[in-house]
Structure 1
Amino acid sequence: MQLHDSMIKEIEKSKDKIIENRRLIHQYPEVGWTEIKTAALVARELESLGFKVSKGDVVISSKARMGVPNQYILDQHYAETLALGYSEAELQPFKDGFTGVVGEMKFGEGPTIALRFDMDAIGLEESLSTGRGPVDKGFVSQIKGQMHGCGHDGHTAIGLGVAESIAKVRHQLNKGSIKLIFQPAEEGVRGAKSMVEAGVLQGVDYVLACHIMANEPFGKLICGANGFMATAKMDVRFKGKAAHAGATPNEGNHAILAACSAVLNLHAIPRHSAGETRINVGTIVAGTDRNVIPDEARLKIETRGANTAINAYVKDYAYQVIKHAGLMHQVETEIEVVGEAVGGKSDEQLIDIIGSVAKRLNVFDEIVASDDHAGGSEDFTYMMSAVQAQGGKAAFFMVGASPDGTGGIGHHTSNFDFKEDALVESIKLFTGIVLSLL
C-alpha cells in the first residue's frame, strides 16, 4: 500500500493541530525522566486514536536507566504537574521517572514496524529575542532554565501526527503491526537502553527514527544517518581528607590534586589507529576554602569512539587514569556511568525505501542517500542494534528544517528553532514508509 493523494491531503488538513501540539509541548519543556506532562499528553492522544497503550515501568527497565534525577526532583515535578489539574490516575504510571509510552496497533500477521520519537528537553534558558518563532508567535518556554533546544517537541508532534494518519487508514490494512515508541531522556543518551531492556523491541522487524535539523536547509533529506559515535558519560568523585593547609597539610589527602592529575592524563589518552576518539572533561567542582586541603572533587566527563569497540578502549583507559590518580594522592574514587550509547549504522535496504518514498512524495528539494559523518551520538543506536541483532532492519533519517533557509541555526543553543512545515513533511514520509513496509 502506498501513500495516496487523499491521505496526503488528510495529513495537510491536520497541520494546525500538529503545530498546536508542538507549540504546547515547547511551552512546557521537561528534561530527561521528568516528561510527565508530555507522556500524559501522548498516552491520552494514542488511546483516543484506538492504540493499545503501554506506559511507565512496563516499558522502562528500572535497572537499565541512567542519569535519573534524585528523588526530590522527581517528587517535586510530579507534585507540580498534579497541581495543574491532571488526575492521579493519569500521572501515576509516570511517577518516579518512568516516563515512557508505547502505542501499538495490529492489523494482522506480518512484520512489526517500530518508530521512535524522543520527548525530552534540555537545561538551557531560552532566548527572548524577537525574530524567533517561539517569541514572535507566543510559545516560548514557561519553565525557567529549560527549553526544547533540539527539536524533540517537534519529534513528539510528528509521532502524534503519524499515529493519527495511521489510525485513519487502519481499516485498509490487513497485515503486520506498528509500534510508536515515545522515549524519555535521549539527551545525555540515557533512555533508549532502558526501553530495549524492558523488551519493547522484541519481535520488531523494522525500526526507524528521524531528527529535525535546524542546521540543514529546509527541503533537504538525508535518508540514512551513519557515523554516530559510541559514547559514555561519567560522573567522577574523588574523596580525600580535609586538613589545615598551613598547620597540617601532610595530614590531608588532596582531592583536587588527584582530580587535576586525572584531567591532564585523561586528555593525554593515546588516539586509536582504527578510528576517531574523543575525551572531554566538561566540569570540575572542588574545594571549600583557600586554607583547607580539599576533601572532595567532582568531574563530569565523556568519552566517544568511532564505534563501540573504540569507545570501550577510551572508556577503559579513562577508568585506569582515574583510579591511579586517586591512588597516587591516596584518595578514594567513584565512577558512575550516567549515559551511554553504542555505535550504529542504517541498513541500505531501508535507506533505499526511504529515498523511494521521498521521491514519490515530491516534497524534498534534495535527497541524500546517507551521511557517514554524523559526528555526535544518539541513543537510538541501542534500538537499532537490538533490532539488527534479531535479524531486522533499522534506519535513522534527518529532515532539513532551517527556519531561515540557510541551515545556520545550531542545536542546543538558546535561539534554536525550526521551520514547522518540516513537521508535516516528516509525517508524510513516516506514513509513506510504514505503508510501503506493510
Structure 2
Amino acid sequence: MKKEEMTLSKQENQMKEAKAGRIDRTFVNRILDGLTEQITADRRQFHKNPEVGWTEFQTAVTVSQRLKKLGFNVSEGRAVIHDASRMGVPPESTLTEAYQRAIDNGFDKKALEPFKGGFTGVVGTIVFGEGPVIALRFDMDALKIEESRSEAHLPAREGFLSSVAGIMHACGHDGHTAIGLGVAAVLSKLKPFMNAGTVKLVFQPSEEGVRGAKSMVKADIFEDVDDVLACHLIGNEAFGKIICGSNGFMATTKMDVRFSGRPSHAGSSPNAGRHAILAAASAVVNMHAIPRHEAGASRINVGTFNGGTDRNVIPEEALLKIETRGEQTEINDYMRQYALRIIKNAGEMHGVETDVTLMGEAIGGKSDESLVAVIKEVAEAMTIFDDIVGIDSHAGGSEDFSYMMSAVQAHGGKAAYFMVGAAPVGTSGVGHHTHEFDVDERALIASVQVMIETVVKRLS
C-alpha cells in the first residue's frame, strides 16, 4: 500500500471513530494543527488593538462576527449584560471616543450598534444534542499601561505593539480571547461528530477591576449551565506548567472615595475652610491600621490619593481609590464595613462630606475537585506539561469569574479555573500588569486543547 493511501485510510478510520463518539487526541490535534497560525494571528491582532473595560467595541464585533461565521447562535450587547449590575463604567466621553475609534478603524456601524454604551459582551452557543450545558469564560479587556518599546519585547520586535497610547494587554486577555475563538473553531469542526450537550462561549468585558462578570450573571446566562470553566495564562511561570484548579481567589471590593470640604485662604483664614485632604489622610492612616481577621487573610490598599489645588489654599476636594480583600467573602465584608466606618468618621471629624462609589466587586470562589480531576487527567495525557499541579490555594488575587462559579454551583453545577504557564522563552517571566508583559504563544494552543478535551470528556 502506498504511503498516501495509508494516510488516507488512517484519516478515514479516525473519522469513523469520531462519528461513533470516540473523538481522540490525534483527531483533535489534527484540527488544531490547521488552526495554530490563525489563533496566533488573532492574539497578535487583539494585542495591537487593546481596549479597556466596557470599551471593547472592536474586540466584541470581531468575536461576534467570527462566531456567526462558525455557525454559533450569538447573543450580544444588552441581551447578555444587565445594565444595573455594571460597575466602574467609564464616562460617556470615554465610551464615545472608543466607539469612534472603532468606526475610524473600519468597523461597520451596524455591527457596532448592539455594543453602544459599553455593553460589550458576547455569548456564542453551539448545540450538539440533549445533555449537559458547559460554559467557557474568556475575558477581553486591556489595561491602562504604556507598553515597552524595547527590542527585547516580542510585540515590539515582531510589529504587533499596542497601537493605542497608554493602553496595552498586560495580563494575557488578548490570548484568552484568541483561545476562545480557537475553541469555537474546533467545536464547529467537531459538530458533525458530537451528539450530546451544549457549549456556551462567554466573552466577558471588564474583568480588570472585577467589574463585568456580575452583570453577565444577572443577565441569566448561567441558569441552565452544568459546568463552567475559565483559563488564565500565567506570565511568570514557564510554559509546561499547568494548575488544574485554583482556590485562592480573594473576595474584594473596589471603591472611589470623594471628600468634599470648603476652600479658604491657608494664611489669613485657615479656620474658615474644611480641609478635605486632612480628612482623607486621617482615613488613609486609620484604614491601614484595621485589625486583621482571625479567620483568614485580609488586605486593604489605598492606591490613589489626589486632592488640592495649590499650597496656599485649604483643599476643597480629595479622592481616594481603595480596595479591600478577604480570603473569604465574610472577611472582605468585615474589611469593607470597617473601612466605611473609618471614612465616615474621618469626614465628620473634619466637617467634610464623604461619598463612596462602588467601582468593582468579587466574591470568593473555589474550584470543584471532580471537575479539576478531569482537567488533570487531560493534562497528564498530553505530552507538553511537565509540571502539573492539581488544586492551588495560594493565588492571592481576585477574579470576578467567582460570580459565574457561584451561580453555577448554587444549583448543583461544577466550576473550575485552570492556569497555564506562559512565560516567554528565555526569560523567567515578568509580573502581570507591567509594561513588558508578554506570553509564550505555544500556551494558546495548549489551552485550547485542554478546554476541548475537557468538554469532550464531560459530554461523552
Secondary structure of 2:423 counterpart:
coil
Where does residue 362 of structure 1 map in the other structure? 383
Please provide the CA RMSD for this pair.
Answer: 1.0
Kindly provide the amino acid, as one letter, of the partner of residue 115 in structure 2: F
CA distance in 1, matches of 2:49, 2:145: 13
Deviation at 1:334, TM superposition (A): 0.3
Match of 2:147 among 117, 126, 138: 126
User: 1:148 is paired with a residue of what secondary structure?
Assistant: coil
Match of residue 403 from structure 1: 424
Say whether 1:264 aligns with 2:293. no
- 3-state secondary structure, aligned to 2:236: coil
Q: What residue number does 2:10 align with?
A: none
Residue of structure 2 in register with 1:310 after alignment: 331
1:82 deviates by 1.1
The Cα of 1:2 is off from its aligned counterpart by 4.2
Q: Which residue of 2 aligns with 1:92?
A: 113
SS of the counterpart of 2:324? strand
Match of 2:18 in 1: none
How many residue pairs get aligned? The number is 438
Structure 2 counterpart of 1:254, which letter? H
Deviation at 1:405, TM superposition (A): 5.3
State the match for 1:352 in structure 2: 373
Q: Is 1:176 equivalent to 2:207 in the alignment?
A: no
Deviates more, 1:103-112 or 1:79-88: 79-88
1:51 maps to what in 2?
A: 72
Q: Given residue 269 of structure 1, which amino acid in structure 2 is its aligned partner?
A: I
**CA distance in 1 between partners of 2:434 and 2:267 (Å):** 45
The within-5 A match list for 1:99-248 is 99-248=120-269
Contact in 2 for aligned 1:209/1:396 (Cα 8 Å): yes
Q: Which moved more, 1:81-90 or 1:194-203?
A: 81-90
Q: Which letter does structure 1 place at the counterpart of 2:98?
A: H
Tell me how far 1:222 sits from its aligned partner.
0.5
Query: Residue type of the partner of 2:338?
Result: Y
Q: Which of the two has higher C-alpha Rg?
A: 2
Residue aligning to 1:381: 402
- Give 2:46's aligned residue: 25
1:324 to 345, 349, 353: 345
Do 1:217 and 1:405's aligned partners in 2 also have CA atoms closer than 8 Å? Answer: no
Tell me if the contact between 1:114 and 1:208 (Cα under 8 Å) persists in the aligned partners: yes
Deviations 1:322-380 (CA, angstroms, capped at 9, x unpaired): 00000001111000110111001000001100011112222211111011100111111
CA distance in 1, matches of 2:336, 2:24: 46
- Measure the CA separation in 2 of the matches of 1:137 and 1:220: 25
1:96 deviation in Å? Answer: 0.6
**Residue among 344, 347, 356 paired with 1:335:** 356
- The residue type paired with residue 36 of structure 2 is K
Take 1:267 and 1:100, find their aligned partners in 2: how far apart are those partners?
36
SS of structure 2 residue aligned to 1:224: strand
- The CA deviation at 1:177 is 0.2
TM-score (norm 2): 0.94
Gaps of 5+ in 1: none
Contact 1:107 1:177 in 2 (8 A): yes
The 2-side partners of 1:15 and 1:131 are apart by 24
Counterpart amino acid of 2:165?
Answer: K
In the other structure, the counterpart of 1:295 is: 316
Residue 345 of structure 1 aligns to a residue whose secondary structure is coil
Q: What does residue 34 of structure 2 align with? A: 13
Give the structure-1-normalised TM-score. Answer: 0.99
Identical-pair percentage: 57
For 1:217 and 1:405, locate their aligned partners in 2 and report how far apart those are by CA, in whole Å: 9
Equivalent residue for 2:450? 429
**In structure 2, what is the Cα distance between the partners aligned to 1:40 and 1:314?**
39
Deviates further, 246-255 or 348-357: 246-255
Any residues of structure 2 matched to 1:28-39 within 5 Å, and which? 28-39=49-60
C-alpha displacement of 1:107: 1.5
- Which stretch of structure 1 is more off in the superposition, 284-293 or 49-58? 284-293
- Cα deviation 1:90-118 (Å, max 9, x = unaligned): 00011110000000011121110000000
> In 1, Cα distance between the equivalents of 2:428 and 2:368?
27
